[in-house]
Amino acid sequence: MNTVNTNKTHEGLAQGMSNIYDEVNTSVASAIKQDLVAHFGKGLYYHLKNGEKPINAEQQAYIAATFEKHGVTTPPVYDKERSEERRVGKE
């Protein structure tokens, strides 16, 4: 018997981080970048930064936590933000 749960969730996606360090001094920006590259890997970091891949809610939370870790009190600003509706279900 297949049951499909058609509950929908909204996941906020962001795209691009080209100006994410604009409000941060250079030494802090460098430390944040090092942490993000260490976490995501160099390839994925640059895909996310350049807007080639969307940044999901979990990734955004990690980025925000990294900014906070380095004393940045303003949240990161992405190039684009959008909400995506997706179905959550079991088969």
Q: What confidence tier does 82 reach under pLDDT thresholds 50, 70, 90?
A: confident
Q: What is the mean pLDDT of residues 56-72?
A: 97
Residues across the chain: 91
Q: Please tell me the chain's helix, strand, coil percentages from 3-state DSSP, rounded to the nearest 5.
A: 40, 20, 40
pLDDT recorded at residue 65: 98
Structure tokens at 38: 């260490």
Average pLDDT over residues 5-22: 73
pLDDT of amino acid 81? 86
Q: Cβ(32)–Cβ(21) under 8 Å?
A: yes
Report the predicted TM-score, pTM, of the whole model to 2 decimal places.
Answer: 0.78
